[in-house]
Structure formats: C-alpha cells, structure tokens
A = this chain, B = another copy of it.
Amino acid sequence: MAFSERVTRLKSSLIREILAAAQRPEVMSFAGGLPAEAMLPALSWDAMPLNIGQYGMSEGEPQLRELLAAQARALGVPCQAGQVLVVSGSQQTLDLAAKLYIDQGTQIMLEGPTYLAALQIFQLFGADCLTVQLEADGPNLAALRANLERHRPAFIYLIPTFQNPSAVRYSEAKREAVAALLDEFGVTLIEDEPYRELTFDGGSAQPIAGRLKKASWIYTGTVSKTLLPGLRVGYLIASPDLFPHLLKLKQSADLHTNRVGQWQAMQWIGSEKYQQHLVELRSFYRERRDAFQVALARHFSDLADWQTPQGGLFFWLTLKQPLDTRTLLAQALDQNVAFMPGEPFFSEPDQHLGSLRLNFSHIDPARLDEGLKRLAAVVRQAQHAQAA
C-alpha cells in the first residue's frame, strides 16, 4: 500500500471519537462545540429561485459576497466584495491556507493552546508548529517578538476573539501590538473569528486584520455558530495579493460552495431578523454561561482555576494539580460524561498536561449539575490515585 508521506501524520481524531461516544442519549456531553438546538432558527425556502440548483461561481454568490464585505467593513476590516471567498465552512479556509503555505517542514506560528482541527490540518501538510503562549488578554508579546526575531513563519494563526479552547479575548492594546509586530516582520496573519458575535458583555473590538498596514492577511468567519452549522457556509476575506491563489485552490477542492446554503445565509446576513436572532442567542447563551459558572464553582473550586468567558462557547479549566486529562476520558464516559481533554490543543501535548475544555452551550440545563459533579469525582479519584 503506497500512501503519501503525509498520511503518516493523519492522526485519529480525538474529537471524532469523543463526539461519537457522546451520541448516546444518556451521555452528558461537555465535549463538542454545538449550538443549542433550541436556538436553531426556522428556515423558509419558499422564495428560493429554481436556478440556485445550477452550478455557481467558485467565488460564491455575488450578493452574499457583498453582504459579507459590508459586515467586515463595519467591523473595521477594509475590503471589497471581490476579496470575499465563500467556503464550505471555515474549516475549509484552513485547508486552503495549508495548501497555499505549507510544505513539509514549513514553520508556522500558533497560539498555545490553539484550535485542535487547525493543528490537525496544518500538521497533516507537514507544518513545523511554533507556539506563542496565551495570557488572559492575548499573547505574551515579548515571547512573540522573540519568536519572530528568531524565525520566519509562513503565517501566524490567531483566534483573537473568544478563542477556542481558552475563551481568551485579546485586549485593545495587544491587538495593536500584534498588528504592529506582524507589519514589522512581514508575517501573514490568518485570523479566525467564528465566535465574534457570541459576546456576553457587548464588547466588539476591531479585528487585527483591519489594523495591519503592510502584512498580508486572511480573515475567516462562518455562519455555523450564529445560524446553522449544517449549511456548511463560511467565508474568508483575503488581502488582494493572496485572493487569486485561494480562489484557484477553492475551485480545485470542490468547485464551489453549496448554493442552497449560500442562498439561505443571504436571507439573514445584514438583516434585521439576523440582528434580532443574535440578540436572543447572546441572551440564551449568557444564561447558560451563568448557570455553568455557578455549577462549576460548586464542584470544581478546589480542583481547577478558570476565567469566566465573556463570549464563545467554552470554559477552559486548568487543574491545580496537573495530570494528563486524556487518561480521564474512559472513566468519564463510564460515568456517562464526555469532555475535551486540553492536551490535544497544543502542538506538543505532553508538555501541557492538566487542562479541560468544557462546552456550556449544548448541555441540558437539567443535567448540568449532575454532569459536572460526576466529572469532578472522576478528576478527584484520579488525583487520589496519582497521590497514592
């Protein structure tokens, strides 16, 4: 069997396995990043024209591209519709970026921790991953500068707004400083913002892409967290030097993004109805976040530290007494509880033991307390066993 060299780096996906286990209805799952089903909006398809069924443009629907460009400009990302590429979910942006930049051994820079599925696709293409450590308000700037002085990464991949998994939101000062550093060293930015609209305190900082003066950039978003993940409609907006390459890569990957999903997204983006939906969504998730915080404080205060997230879908717990949380998974599932171990969110998992990512958006509130209680018991038991 002669597979490609890259297949040796094709890891079994922990997410997939945990989510499969979490399918069992009796499982209380904190593992995924799923929107609450109660908040999936009802769709109307009546007005969709028949010819939406025909082949479409690789770039995406012209009207949707206009709407997305207007939305980005309103956030402070100067762009035209011609820089917008509609993709099959923002995961595809990462695939296209990997193809554009990564040969075996190409250095790239990521936050530590970072988004698991980004790490997977970049490593599949053979990236050598440099890490810049995250603090409560963004990356450690001295470490970032030192890294950029020593290395020339092909790009830096950042999730500055309610990061997955850490929930960190970069401060205004750090956004400015990161932009200045990327301009100074001429490093391309990939800025991933799936969670931007899920803000619980109303904050909305300008994306880093909009603060750059010279560096190339790709800004990527999705309707998956605010509308419907099942549509598989995401987008990227790129600086004009990158766009033509990304467009050709998109075409060779799947010709174009599904048009029925694009048409549906077009009915929402920029509309009053969408604004109203976002208001309800934020309020719904804020309540879930608050209830989660209370239950966490009850069961985990002696076990872990965490920041209360001001947006997004996750709590990130750091155990006071570190242990490899991957080893807790089997016992948790035995107790019908699923969670995401924190280690796989680092490019060198074994050097970062003792974190957990807990999703608060999807769990049934009636089972929340019981789920966290059982999870805490699993942690406590493992720590006793370790101490013994």
Which chain A residues (24-82) contact chain B, with CB distance < 8 Å?
A: 32, 34-35, 37, 40-43, 45, 48, 50-56, 58
- Expressed in whole angstroms, the Cα–Cα distance for A7 and B103 within the complex equals 10
Residues of chain B contacted by A10 (CB below 8 angstroms): 245, 248-249, 252
B16 pairs with A35, CB closer than 8 A: no
Cβ–Cβ < 8 Å partners of A297 in chain B: none
Contact of A55 with B40 in the complex, beta carbons under 8 Å: no
Is A202 among interface residues, defined by CB-CB distance under 8 A? Answer: no
Chain B neighbourhood of A231, CB < 8 A: 53, 258-260
| A307 CB, min distance to chain B CBs, angstroms | 26
Closest B residue to A261 by CB, please name it.
Answer: B258
Chain B residues within 8 Å of A256, by CB: 232
Q: What 0/1 pattern do residues 295 to 330 of A give for CB contact below 8 A with B?
A: 000000000000000000000000000000000000
Chain B contacts for A152, CB-based, 8 A: 2
Question: Could you tell me if B53 and A228 are in contact, using CB atoms closer than 8 angstroms?
Answer: yes
Residues of B within 8 A of A54 (CB): 34-35, 37, 40, 228-230
Complex Cα spacing A266 to B152, Å: 49
SS class, residues of chain A in contact with chain B: loop
Tell me whether A106 is interfacial, beta carbon within 8 Å.
Answer: yes
Residue A113 at the chain B interface, CB threshold 8 Å: no
Given contacts A40-B54, A103-B5, contact A13 B259 (CB under 8 A): no
User: CB distance B100 to A230 under 8 Å?
Assistant: no
Contact of A232 among B2, B51, B154, B258 (CB under 8 A): B258
- Taking the complex as formed, is A164 at the interface, i.e. its CB lies under 8 A from any CB of chain B? no
Task: Pick out which of these stretches binds chain B: A85-93, A173-181, A205-213, A380-388.
Answer: A85-93
> 11 extra interchain contacts, Cβ-Cβ under 8 A, other than A4-B101, A124-B252?
A7-B245, A88-B232, A88-B258, A91-B253, A117-B252, A120-B252, A230-B259, A232-B254, A232-B259, A258-B260, A260-B260
| 17 intermolecular pairs with C-beta atoms under 8 Å apart | A2-B154, A16-B251, A34-B55, A40-B50, A40-B51, A41-B53, A43-B45, A88-B257, A91-B254, A92-B254, A99-B124, A117-B252, A121-B253, A253-B253, A258-B258, A258-B260, A258-B261
